[in-house]
Structure 1
Amino acid sequence: MDDYQKIKSLAAQYATEFVAVRRYLHENPELSFQEHNTCAYLKEQLLALGITDIESVAETGLLATINGSQKGKTILLRADIDALPIHEQNNIAYASKTAGVMHACGHDAHSASLLLCAKILIELKGDFAGSVKLLFQPAEELSPGGAISVIKEKPYIALGTIPHIGQHVRPDIPVGKVGFRSGKFMASMDELFLTVKGKGGHAAMPEKIIDPVLIASHIIVAAQQLVSRMADPKTPSVLSFGKVIANGAINVIPDEVSIEGTFRTLDEDWRKIALEKLKKLVTTMAEAMGGSCELKINHGYPHLKNDSTLTEDLRIHAKDYLGEENVEELDQWMAAEDFAYYTQNNPACFYMLGVGNVEKNIASGLHTPTFNIDESALEIGGGLMAWLAIKTLLA
């Protein structure tokens, strides 16, 4: 029996075991930088698989090692482990037990898939040379993210430059399929916090006030020039404001208005220029209307760029494992991921695992209170990752 048949057989044999792992994690979610119980549980699972080379990274993360039959290449497989501040609305037996916290981005599935992959690799370690590093990373969901902490850790630094492979669930891709994209794939992400200041007062006496609500309204509209008139049309850019607070009343104009939003792009040079232009635009507009505006920027993740050579190799291997018809070409995606930090200095590939199933009414988007997955994707995800790992080591 060759490796392909072995992996397919082992993934099918052990899938149910890791569905249970995923459900445990789903029931017991923890927020970014708080994943202490999750980390302990994952370590127990690794030890149960016979993996004892386990190091702590970024406080609540783990870096484990599986060695093959002899020395060779080293690769890293990554899963994130944190949950989101969302109250689950799914009517399922394994719904979150923690009010207001939910695995709404599939990190429970990522962790379970990587553990299934690990179990397969343990059974096949006599068939490959080299080492596989398993990274269970905390805090992907909250800027500055866990990856920036991981890459500063001694165990990680000691790895040098090695291939990194990451897998993420996508409910808009049907279960059974996966998607790849070479080159620029996901956007950078910066958080914007604007404070528009004026002079509040009675709404019926506008001549005596400097209306920050009006100023804020103009700023929100005018700021879209950053994308529509200042950006190169060939450079993807998104500017969105999702939170506006003007704490007045029907007849009370407040002294200030707060606005929160995000700027995203796929070009680091334009990113820097755009944020400077935005700062100038919002401050001068507010001043022109008699008020002022302060802009605070929390610089988040860089854009994610998949290594073309590694990604094309993995795409070919995925077609061999799943069939050509089940491997899709993905479009660029303006979501952000801190896996991007790993792609800056390593050949890396971040690909998508289909988990949607319209017939089972599993179609809710990521980061929604009704997000769920078709759990048959775990067998596919764990098996595929093991297959990609072995093929990469043998290359």
Structure 2
Amino acid sequence: MTDATPLTEIADLEPAAASLRDIRRHIHHHPELAYEEVATAALVAEKLEAWGWKVTRGVGQTGVVGTLKVGDGTRSIGLRADMDALPIVEQTGLPYASGTHGKMHACGHDGHTTMLLGAAEHLAKTRRFSGTVHLYFQPAEESGIDSGAKKMIDDGLFERFPCDAVFGVHNHPGAEPGKFLFRKGAFMAAGDKATITIEGVGGHAARPHLTVDPIVIASSIVMALQTIVARNVNPAQPAVVTVGTMHSGVANNVIPSSAKLELSVRSFSPEVRALLKQRIIELAEAQAASYGGKAHVDYIEGYPVVVNTDAETEFAIQVARELVGAENVEPNADILMGSEDFAFMLEQRPGSFLRLGNGVGEDGCMVHNPHYDFNDRNLPIGAAYWARLVERYLSR
């Protein structure tokens, strides 16, 4: 790319803002859970094909890859967007709210997909680069265990659609729309899941002495788990142990025979990750035994730590500064205890995962909340950023 070749500006995408909004709200109204993204994948594929991209369907089950080669450049870049929704009952009251009860785009994946589609259309029209672009539209980011990113990789993603670097984005409630957040190195936590099944002895509520109450055991385990981060983990090391579900019993006059807890476990270092697993198992088994019951812990290691490579992150920072100004770029954002399966892609290729502000205060509802909505102001901003990133990375 010569000095005279223009680079994409946000203003270049503003004329597409209305059509991008319509796409985003259509996807929002038709949410699909992990590996159910059939209609969303079809929409993505049809749009890409109409704009001249080579499309491959069914990558990693319901994933879609769009490929565009321009010129004789030998470099390649991968951009990723996630497509799946969450099992949440939407309470926004918006005219385009979920049309499927119990399913909702409560994490902004509808916006991530649409921003990448906006960039795809613009890049196909302008073609101001030399090299190959792969767009990875990924299923099942929210699955927590059976990761869409991992499944696409196992399906030969980087062998079939190779890239020299890979980039991804997530919206960020708590920062203004159009504000970019970056961090070199470890950015987001590893995320694991533990299920604790407690075995007691059921019986009549009026004869508790003849039972082993699993609800009491479960309650004791919940409280004991709070000591792990507080008393076992080095205070300088970030870690979270959260009990997300607790299930037991069907009637007030019956002591049940079993109970179940489900935990979300977050960490940043392999040592802390191993310690959390060890202490969760030890505490659950010991607490149950102290009441005369038993506890079985099924511990599943989920997503690894998101680790951004320095050179690619610095490049992504520079592109953002060019696009929105240095005042709207945070190059050293705080670490986040949330997890992301984009981490699997970063284990395979250098790259960077960045955040884009979604609003503050009342406009910045947290993700995974029934009142959340993606901020449409970001659609032309995000699309312009992806387009400019490609133009700069694959400059002639």
1:373 aligns with 2:345: no
1:299 is matched with 301
Alpha-carbon separation, structure 2, partners of 1:6 and 1:213: 59
TM-score by length of 1: 0.94
Contact 1:192 1:296 in 2 (8 A): yes
Contact 1:144 1:301 in 2 (8 A): no
SS at 1:229 equivalent: helix
1:156 aligns with 2:158: yes
Give the CA deviation at 1:284. Answer: 2.2
Aligned pairs (5 A) from 1:50-65: 50-65=52-67
Give the CA deviation at 1:363. Answer: 2.4
Give the CA deviation at 1:155. Answer: 4.5
Query: Which amino acid counterpart does residue 22 of structure 1 have in structure 2?
Result: R
Alpha-carbon separation, structure 1, partners of 2:348 and 2:318: 23
Alpha-carbon separation, structure 1, partners of 2:208 and 2:271: 43
Aligned pairs (5 A) from 1:1-395: 6-125=8-127, 127-142=128-143, 143-160=145-162, 162-247=164-249, 249-328=251-330, 329-356=332-359, 358=361, 361-394=362-395
Alpha-carbon separation, structure 2, partners of 1:161 and 1:386: 16
Task: Mark the runs of 5 or more structure 2 residues left unpaired by the alignment.
Answer: none
Closer/same/farther in 2, CA of residues 209 and 85 from structure 1, 3 Å limit: same
Query: Which amino acid counterpart does residue 183 of structure 2 have in structure 1?
Result: R
Query: Which amino acid counterpart does residue 104 of structure 2 have in structure 1?
Result: M
Alpha-carbon separation, structure 2, partners of 1:232 and 1:131: 46
Give the CA deviation at 1:55. Answer: 4.6
SS at 2:369 equivalent: coil
Query: Which amino acid counterpart does residue 347 of structure 1 have in structure 2?
Result: P
Task: Mark the runs of 5 or more structure 1 residues left unpaired by the alignment.
Answer: none
TM-score by length of 2: 0.93
Encode CA deviations 1:282-303: one digit per residue, 9 max, x unaligned: 1122113211101112321111
Alpha-carbon separation, structure 2, partners of 1:30 and 1:55: 17
Query: Which amino acid counterpart does residue 129 of structure 1 have in structure 2?
Result: S
Closer/same/farther in 2, CA of residues 210 and 35 from structure 1, 3 Å limit: same
Alpha-carbon separation, structure 1, partners of 2:207 and 2:98: 51
Q: Once superposed, which parts of structure 1, at least 4 consecutive aligned residues long, lie more than 4 Å away?
A: 1-6
Closer/same/farther in 2, CA of residues 385 and 3 from structure 1, 3 Å limit: farther
Contact 1:171 1:373 in 2 (8 A): no
Query: Which amino acid counterpart does residue 307 of structure 1 have in structure 2?
Result: T
Alpha-carbon separation, structure 1, partners of 2:376 and 2:229: 39
Query: Which amino acid counterpart does residue 17 of structure 1 have in structure 2?
Result: S
SS at 1:262 equivalent: strand
Contact 2:21 2:376 in 1 (8 A): yes
Query: Which amino acid counterpart does residue 325 of structure 1 have in structure 2?
Result: E
Alpha-carbon separation, structure 2, partners of 1:183 and 1:315: 14
Encode CA deviations 1:201-248: one digit per residue, 9 max, x unaligned: 233433322222222222111122321222222221100102112205
SS at 1:96 equivalent: coil
Contact 2:134 2:163 in 1 (8 A): no
Give the CA deviation at 1:41. Answer: 0.9
Query: Which amino acid counterpart does residue 124 of structure 1 have in structure 2?
Result: T
Contact 2:7 2:391 in 1 (8 A): no
Aligned residues: 392
SS at 1:89 equivalent: coil
Alpha-carbon separation, structure 1, partners of 2:98 and 2:380: 22
Give the CA deviation at 1:11. Answer: 1.2
Alpha-carbon separation, structure 2, partners of 1:3 and 1:187: 40
RMSD: 2.0
SS at 1:116 equivalent: helix
Alpha-carbon separation, structure 1, partners of 2:157 and 2:343: 19
Q: State the percentage of identical aligned residues.
A: 35
Contact 1:4 1:387 in 2 (8 A): no
SS at 2:33 equivalent: coil
Encode CA deviations 1:10-50: one digit per residue, 9 max, x unaligned: 21222222111111111111111011111111111101111
Alpha-carbon separation, structure 2, partners of 1:102 and 1:318: 30
Closer/same/farther in 2, CA of residues 217 and 16 from structure 1, 3 Å limit: same
SS at 2:304 equivalent: coil
Contact 1:161 1:345 in 2 (8 A): no
Give the CA deviation at 1:6. Answer: 4.2
Contact 1:167 1:352 in 2 (8 A): yes
Contact 1:175 1:353 in 2 (8 A): yes
SS at 1:15 equivalent: helix
